[in-house]
Amino acid sequence: MSEIIVVKDLIKYYNQGKDNQVFALKGINLTLNKGESVALVGVSGSGKSTLLHIIGAMDNATSGGYIFSGQDVTKLGVDGLAGLRADKIGFVFQQYGLLSDSTVEANIKLALCFLRDKKQAKEAESRIDETLAKLGISELKGRKVRELSGGQKQRVAIARAMIKNPELIIADEPTGALDRNTANEITDVLISLVKEYGTTLIVATHDLEITKKFDRTIKLENGCIV
């Protein structure tokens, strides 16, 4: 299997050198293979979100190496990082991150505005109906997000993340706000979609029941992989 992510000796300090300095990641070494689905677990404060932010090109590490799809992410400037996020990474969050007063369709289309390749954006737009169908939410296309249940909102967020056919999906506690059954359903639909498209998936979670569904589980403890 080929590698999509290679993280080497990654260190992250917040507020380095100040009184409120936090040593959040203490030398992370991690390789993710293409198409692999990985659960990231660990107690609150162990560094899961910090690691996902760096892998998702939303934050910089203090030091260490990070290669995404053969590209050295540590060498990218602000625009390069934004482009990487827009083109190649889909995000799913606990609180969905959708625009409540817009329709499901408008929320999904918004993700395509940021794509640098306009041809890719057009192609993706033609897949909206198919993607909604795969997530079982075709009938919600014209509905306002604020009228939807939590599980339905998370399906929309997954559709928004998947529509551009990204190389990587990052999800930070995607089932944290959902009940047991809905959490299982959402995890099942997410994993079946990434398997179908060959997308790599990394999910931070406290839910040990859903971790069984992933190819591999990585545990963080106090900023280290154990």
Ligand X SMILES: Nc1ncnc2c1ncn2[C@@H]1O[C@H](COP(=O)(O)OP(=O)(O)OP(=O)(O)O)[C@@H](O)[C@H]1O
The residue range among 43-51, 101-109, 110-118, 195-203 that interacts with ligand X, by the rule CB under 6 A, is: 43-51
**What DSSP line would sit under 74-97, residue for residue?**
GG--HHHHHHHHHHHEEEEETT--
Name which of Mg ion, ligand X, none residue 42 binds, using a CB cut-off of 5 to 8 Å depending on partner kind: ligand X
Which two structure tokens, joined as six digits, stand for 28? 């992370």
- CB-CB contact of 45 with 197 (8 Å): no
Binding to ligand X by residue 151, rule CB under 6 A? no
Binding to Mg ion by residue 49, rule CB under 5 A? yes
**Dihedral class, residue 77 (left if φ above 0, else alpha if ψ from -120 to 50, else beta):** beta
The residue range among 28-36, 44-52, 85-93, 190-198 that interacts with ligand X, by the rule CB under 6 A, is: 44-52
Q: Binder to ligand X among 38, 48, 199, 218 (CB under 6 A)?
A: 48
Neighbours of 16 (CB within 10 A): 11
DSSP character for 138? G
Q: Nearer to Mg ion by C-beta: 159 or 204?
A: 204
Q: Binder to ligand X among 4, 37, 39, 50 (CB under 6 A)?
A: 50
Positions in the binding site for ligand X (CB under 6 A): 14-15, 22, 24, 42, 44-50
